Chain A
């Protein structure tokens, strides 16, 4: 979003929407008066006050990875530990604002490497299924939040649709979820809000979509049930949510309200998460 030409920035403070989508707007306000490009970016990337800043996440990830070291392969552990060391050594929080995108690219590489290492090197047992389950539950939540905040913001009831500003912002959403090229392959037409929503909610071939996440969630939950013989509320709730996603179409969703739909989804997804914890981890 910080790469948007400033003439394409719209009225209102879309930096606050970024904070809202990350669920830390209130926390931000406790520490900062104004949401500017720089203050928000630094807050999301580096702040020690923000437990979900990239830096804090890496800190937590490394702490947890060390605690469950034997559940990870050497490649996964070295990716996390290497990234943690890199942050200790290179102190990216001291970077000038203009260099932060380079840091963010590095973060993306690290998470791809971790994801890829897990996929390539882990034994297919419950540790693997749990790690995948976690990834998809988290990803479904993130996709839903990005959609909600941006659509809320992009579609105020009274504003006209279309024009350069909207176009730039829609394509920013797609780039945020690495789906800019995919959109064109799937729809072969110019950017339309409902098609973007269709892509990110219902299209199973789009790996970040809610439907794709849920296809993976039920697969991994079923593996867990098969490996350990425990089947219960987690499986039932996940299958129900997946069935619901498959029975929807985007026109229906817009008709009954995108915001309501997404809020409902986030709550249901939380419910699946809680059921997993209850069933396996308590």
Chain B
């Protein structure tokens, strides 16, 4: 349901995917264009001849593909521009003679076909297949879901990826998520405490990764309070091969309250008094940490 390609597909790419789709002997494929591979004036989508089992709904208004042998009709529309602020008419066509009706819809945010969940559910479709968001997400059980990307596309596409398998029975639609991607991007927060050295952190991260699964790809966020004397020099490749990034968000483990008590009248105490009530993630708090560290390092004696 949209964005089969991240950009305008090339003809040879369409040929490849067409070949792969054509190999599906028992499956009918219905697809639309999304905001990334939208139907531009010269798009190959407009002219490409798909195999017989592939049905592309190219209109920017609701179109329908019917499969009488399956008892299913699939409705959907394609993007003709990069954005689509207005939702086209989505009412279930009255002439649909099939017992099961599915709507394919790409978008959901402000710039891309914004919708309200309740309104969509009221349209009368048996299932609404959503696309656009990379993370799999069920909006309404058995009625509406984002299937997410098959594989993580970006380092921030964390969590499991796969596809949704839906089955229509007497009781209605049953949708299952089938994990398919072998690797995930994972963000791990590693708590650092004041007693830890660089090597201890490195080993800790390795252990954590071993526990989580070495097949995944990690972004490590160091959190907590570090020994003010220590600078972690952690390069991802020195810690483990499957880390793309290590973000150091640790703060020096100064006991600000105690420091304040001891230095009420001098500049250190005043700096702490100015900033200590700010939020921990604020620039001001960070400024306090930096300032205190600089003053402490410059301490005489």
A and B found bound together = no
Task: List residues of B whose CB falls within 8 A of some A CB.
Answer: none
